[in-house]
Structure 1
Amino acid sequence: MRTAISRSTRATAVLASGLQTALPALAGVVVLPFLVLLLPFAPSVTKPVRVLARLERERVGGYLGFPLPEAAHAEGGGKLRAARDPATWRDLLWTVTHGLGGTFLGLLGIALWPAIVASATIPLYWWLFPPETFTGMLVVIRTWPEALTLPLLQAALYAAMVVWLVPLIARGQLWLARTLLGPNETELLAQQIERLTATRAEALESHGAELRRIERDLHDGIQAQLVAVSVRLGLAARALSAEPGNPATELVKDARTGIEDSLGNLRSIIRGIYPPILADRGLAGAVHALAGGQRIPVTVRVPDDLPRPPAAIEAAAYFVVAESLTNVTKHSTAKHAEVVVEGDGHSLRVTVHDDGQGGADTDSGSGLSGIRHRVAALDGTARIDSPVNAGTTIEVHLPCG
């Protein structure tokens, strides 16, 4: 019983608070025909409706426990955009529905509580009125048997309405606002895609900055320290060489050799994380350097005004070119290759073509599948076309946020 009363009280509070927006909406119903007529010529006439709808979303979100997002309104299209905007028409439909229904139901939800008390107390004072003249709300009281039964039945009816009908009406009011004023499934999906796109761009920027930091720390920190240690070991080996037969000489030489091997491995790791040449010369310079280091002629076409992509995208494009040219040199028997890099700031396209024997297997776990995986991790696409005896073309599209 206590739970039912609590639920009914909360539902009544929902309907009562709805009057804050229902009464202004009811006033708007009067001028709504004029708004509809002016809508194609003056879209700004809907601003009061949108303000009222925003207040309703805030109210409903408080009861739902989560903020109710705004439906996406059409942008552009001139003055006719508002007339063609489904969200605007849903706002207007909510204005009519909530203005009429919300006002009536809100007043009804409030009035039922005192109606229960008034009906239950009718037997205490009905006899003070002249005979056959007292009307107990929905019933006429003429005799004591009627006074002791009909008002109590009426009070029970009102109580039943409070317990079962009012919560149902309150849920309906919240559902109506959520359906008409919130985004539909298509709009929710579009908003989610927009959020994912924004967070993805932020993640790429953060990832790129982290790559550059790691590369810088390894290059300027650990690598420099290992070089210093190698130099000291070299000096120690030279000093010990003046003492023939000293067993420490070979140990120092072995240690220096190990340090130099570690330096070589560290440089490979640095190039694998974020090649220093990208930071120094950018993607265009790095691609030209890659092409110049091949055993076959490689033509590079990169526009001078190519917008610089995020670091993670730039590194991925570099590795695509590096892996592709490595495959060309090792497997294709090609005599010439071409690298084309194009971009507009929103996406980057890298194309590597050779005139080799073709027939590359993209499903054998080779470097080509590695290109696919690296590109897919950045939400890009890779197309590999390698017909037999017709060369191989690798085309990669990378989004730049």
Structure 2
Amino acid sequence: MNQLPLNGLIVLEFSQYLSGPSAGLRLADLGARVIKIERPQGGDPCRKLAVKNLWVEGDALNFHAINRNKESFTADLKNKEDLELVKKLIRRADVVTHNFRPGVMEKIGLAYKDVKGINEKIIYAEISGFGRKGPWAQKPGQDLLVQSLSGLTYTTGNGGSAPVPFGLSAVDAISGIHLVQAVLGALIRRQREEKGAYIELSLIESAIGMQFELFTTFFHSKKGIQRSKINNGNPLLGAPYGVYKTADHFLSLAMMELQQLATALDWEELNVFDQRDVFQKRDEIKALIAKKLKTNTTRYWLERLRRSGLWAAAVYSWKDLDQTEGYKILEMEQELQAGDKRIFTTRCPITLNGKRLVSSKAAPTLGANREAIIKQLMEE
């Protein structure tokens, strides 16, 4: 697609696992040429971090999901000759990303000041676990650990129960999104002012930042923030917000007035409460609603709720979702070809000028593009 906005942009990705590579994935989807700089022995450790023991062409299946549409350049950064090759690449690059612990790139000689000395207009973006300073600076920046330290695990699950982490690498993903935002902002400034940029992010700051509603409430609330004891959906919201069991499955209720819900369910008993009670008597109200919804099916209740214009939804598994027309019309799947293997994964969620951003290019095998990159970018 020639109209992709980042066509011609070269990104050198020293990143590994998920946070940095997820940013590179989105930049590649938008047209950038993303070159992974990897160790000759093993490369990005995510290549061997298989989920469900699924492998493709010797690499973990999830590695392809995170690193499709990229190239791989192997370099031993402790070797002077390889380091010089990488520095030649830096001269041609627009963006450098890494997510190593503080101090690693300094030891190699590729800290921001070093890279800026090679390419003054470079946009240098790094993600650490906990920032460069303070007692946590050298802690391992792993998603579950950051969720645990940042309070995120207390947004999920019921009050009085154990904290519950997100069932995906939510902090890595949001950090990658933040990195892309910062890089795009820096690119716009460079276009206008011809200046590079040094971008610093940390997983902990991203995790706190995504909780802006919760932290703002915490700063102003003398009573603190409490999860519902039952059917928790969001610790900041009152009844009936949450997920409920029905006679045959589950459904979720979003924000709505109790009187509207009482009318939709044809349930006068709920009218003993008013909107002033949705927080003060949140658990009591939710317990009554939970008992009521168990008396009939999800479909029955959804029809009544939708007729009243109330926000509610069935709770789908991935298999359930895959069977719906609402999912199929999105065309979120794309096929990659890795050797003689076909991989199905999700596409970029962005539609640009009426066209969905898809690519059939699988993740590169380790060092697959080294010689071509040397010939094209270093010998011109």
TM over 0.5: no
Normalised by the size of structure 1, how large is the TM-score? 0.20
Rg larger in structure:
1
Normalised by the size of structure 2, how large is the TM-score? 0.21
Structure with the largest fraction of strand: 2
More relative contact order, 1 or 2 (CA 8 Å, 6+ apart): 2
